[in-house]
């Protein structure tokens, strides 16, 4: 399988969806790209990495990405420095992301299959009409990531598209008509919106609230060994507890303590990969008095034991 590129070698998203690998050895993924109409593309990605692979990415598209992982045998995640967090990618789960010019990284080990509909914002606005608060917040900021979109119909539709696009990539005569792909791409976006509609509606974060929420995030992550209480955090940021909790879901796509735990485990991974600190010391520094509890939390986030990660260095 291919080696990861040097951390400084950023890969434009346009290069990935065109199927160009960041190395010259045997390809570790296959990509099929179909242009459904001007401003709308359908992408099928199937990648397999026997060893952990990491890529520095640059989103040079101007698209909203409706991305659904139909299969995952392993672990995968993406991260954006502006968010100060990792986003775990899970099987049978979708995410909505947007952020032209964003810089981040992608990490994968094992096999992953994904279907993504990429839609230009003006076309999405015409399709969707008045979007919900979470999407408004996503588009109003420099970029964002809304995770955990699920549903049986969403899964079945994504798997059906993936099967058809595998045939299209093989130039099979059994591949579907272009109009079918265009219709299914629209259906997939609609199912994402329906999945969001089934969740409690979240208000749009006003500009003043966004500043307070970012301050709350910075305070929350200032000490990864001990999280402040919601009441203390809300008071320090000048928000009510309700607005704090709702605002985190709108702006950061997760709960207050969900963000804290993700960043804590990301810091644990960084320190273990550095190789200078023992597992026991990392666990203690991050507030764990029981190494077994730390190992369980690490495994839940990253899919491997901390000891296995150190052994692979």
Where is mean pLDDT largest: 87-101, 134-148, 176-190?
A: 176-190
Residue 5 has what pLDDT?
37
- For residue 42, list its beta bridge partners: 34, 117
Greatest extent of the chain over all pairs of C-alpha atoms, in Å: 63
In 3D space, the residue among 58, 48, 44 whose CA is nearest the CA of residue 14 turns out to be 58
- 243 or 85, higher pLDDT: 243
Burial 52-80 (b: 16+ CB within 10 A, else e): bbbbbbbbebebbbbbbbbebebbbbbbb
Given a contact cutoff of 8 angstroms between Cβ atoms, the answer to whether 43 and 118 are in contact is: yes
Q: Which residues contact 177 (CB under 8 A, 6 or more apart)?
A: none
Cα–Cα distance measured from residue 311 to residue 296, given in angstroms and rounded to the nearest whole number: 17
Q: Which residues contact 117 (CB under 8 A, 6 or more apart)?
A: 36, 40, 41, 42, 43, 65, 66, 185, 188, 189
Residue 276 has what pLDDT?
73
- Angle, helices 207-220/256-274, rounded to nearest 10 degrees: 50
In 3D space, the residue among 114, 131, 109, 112 whose CA is nearest the CA of residue 122 turns out to be 131
Confidence of residue 171 (pLDDT cuts 50, 70, 90): low
pLDDT in tens, 51-74: 878 778 778 888 999 999 999 888
pLDDT in tens, 12-21: 776 666 555 5
Mean pLDDT of the chain: 80
Average pLDDT over residues 243-254: 81
Given a contact cutoff of 8 angstroms between Cβ atoms, the answer to whether 130 and 179 are in contact is: no
Q: What is the pTM of this model?
A: 0.64
Confidence of residue 25 (pLDDT cuts 50, 70, 90): very low
Tokens 């979109």 belong to residue: 149
Given a contact cutoff of 8 angstroms between Cβ atoms, the answer to whether 47 and 28 are in contact is: yes
Residue 83 has what pLDDT?
61
pLDDT at 177 over 70: yes
Average pLDDT over residues 247-275: 83
Q: Domains, the chain, ranges and CATH? A: 11-197 (2.60.120.10), 207-311 (1.10.10.60)
Cα–Cα distance measured from residue 26 to residue 11, given in angstroms and rounded to the nearest whole number: 18
Residue 183 has what pLDDT?
95
Burial 118-148 (b: 16+ CB within 10 A, else e): bbbeeebeeebeebbbbbbbbbebebbbbbe
Average pLDDT over residues 74-80: 80
Residue 199 has what pLDDT?
56
């Amino acid at each position: 399988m291919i080696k990861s590129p040097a951390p400084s070698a950023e890969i434009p998203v346009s290069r990935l969806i065109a199927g160009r690998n960041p190395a010259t050895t045997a390809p570790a993924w296959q990509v099929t790209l179909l242009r459904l109409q001007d401003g709308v593309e359908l992408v099928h990605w199937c990648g397999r990495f026997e060893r952990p692979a990491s890529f520095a990415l640059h989103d040079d598209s101007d698209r909203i990405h409706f991305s659904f992982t139909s299969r995952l045998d392993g672990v995968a995640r993406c991260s954006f420095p502006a968010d100060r967090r990792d986003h775990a990618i899970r099987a049978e789960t979708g995410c909505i992301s947007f952020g032209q010019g964003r810089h981040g990284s992608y990490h994968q080990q094992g096999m992953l299959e994904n279907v993504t509909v990429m839609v230009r914002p003006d076309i999405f606005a015409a399709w969707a009409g008045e979007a919900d608060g979470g999407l408004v917040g996503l588009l109003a900021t420099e970029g964002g990531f809304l995770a955990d979109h699920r549903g049986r119909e969403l899964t079945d539709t994504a798997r059906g598209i993936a099967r058809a696009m595998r045939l299209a990539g093989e130039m099979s005569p059994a591949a579907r008509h272009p109009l079918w792909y265009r219709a299914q791409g629209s259906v997939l976006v609609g199912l994402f919106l329906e999945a969001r509609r089934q969740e409690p509606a979240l208000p749009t974060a006003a500009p003043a609230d966004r500043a307070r929420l970012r301050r709350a995030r910075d305070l929350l992550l200032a000490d990864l060994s001990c999280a402040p209480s919601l009441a203390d955090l809300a008071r320090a940021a000048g928000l009510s507890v309700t607005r704090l909790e709702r605002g985190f879901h709108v702006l950061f796509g997760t709960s207050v303590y969900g963000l804290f735990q993700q960043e804590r485990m990301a810091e644990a991974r960084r320190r273990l990969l550095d190789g200078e600190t023992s597992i026991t010391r990392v666990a203690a520094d991050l507030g764990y008095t029981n190494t077994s509890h730390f190992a369980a939390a690490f495994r839940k986030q990253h899919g491997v034991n901390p000891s296995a990660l150190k052994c692979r260095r």
